[in-house]
């Protein structure tokens, strides 16, 4: 079994991380804040959006790869991968707009968690039946 579906999502999410990293760097250049956030709310929101992405995406992709290797159905892989992408987009918008605590932040967290649990759950089921 190959990991062709997981590879698609690894590539998409890797490309998504580039602008997340860039917006932090751009704000650092604008504010001349080289370390931490210097009490700049915009920089803090962007840092958290980047950090949240970095904290959740790798483990979810590992769980996705495990599910794909364990024979997960194609619909689960595509649906879970789409949920992960949508969740990370929602989370970014929710974290960086307004006060950073809007409903999109929760939607993003929920979609990401659903994907993670679905992939991990399938993998455990495949191993332990």
Could you read off the pLDDT of 59-103 as tens digits, one per residue?
999 999 999 999 999 999 999 999 999 999 999 999 888 787 889
Under a CB-based contact definition with an 8 Å cutoff, are residues 49 and 19 in contact?
A: no
**Domain ranges for the chain:** 4-128
Q: Which candidate, 46, 124, 120, 114, places its Cα nearest to that of 82? A: 114
pLDDT (0 to 100) of residue 102: 84
Q: Over 80: is that where the pLDDT of 2 sits?
A: yes
Buried b (16+ CB within 10 A) or exposed e, 47-60: bbbbebbeebbeeb
Confidence (pTM) = 0.93
Q: How far is CA 19 from the centre of its chain?
A: 13
pLDDT, mean of residues 44-67: 96
pLDDT (0 to 100) of residue 62: 98
Cα gap 104→43, rounded to integer Å? 19
Cα gap 127→113, rounded to integer Å? 21
Q: 108-122 pLDDT, tens per residue?
A: 999 999 999 999 999
**CATH number of the 4-128 domain:** 1.20.120.550
């Amino acid at each position: 079994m190959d990991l062709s579906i997981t590879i698609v999502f690894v590539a998409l999410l890797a490309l998504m991380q580039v602008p997340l990293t860039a917006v932090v760097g751009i704000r650092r250049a604008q504010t001349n804040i080289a370390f931490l956030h210097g009490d700049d709310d915009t920089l803090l929101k962007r840092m958290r959006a980047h950090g949240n992405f970095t904290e959740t995406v790798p483990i979810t992709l590992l769980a996705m790869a495990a599910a794909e290797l364990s024979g997960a159905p194609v619909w689960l892989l595509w649906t879970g991968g789409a949920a992960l992408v949508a969740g990370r987009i929602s989370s970014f918008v929710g974290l960086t707009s307004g006060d950073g605590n809007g409903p999109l932040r929760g939607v993003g967290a929920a979609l990401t968690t659903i994907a993670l649990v679905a992939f991990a759950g399938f993998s455990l089921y495949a191993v332990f039946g």
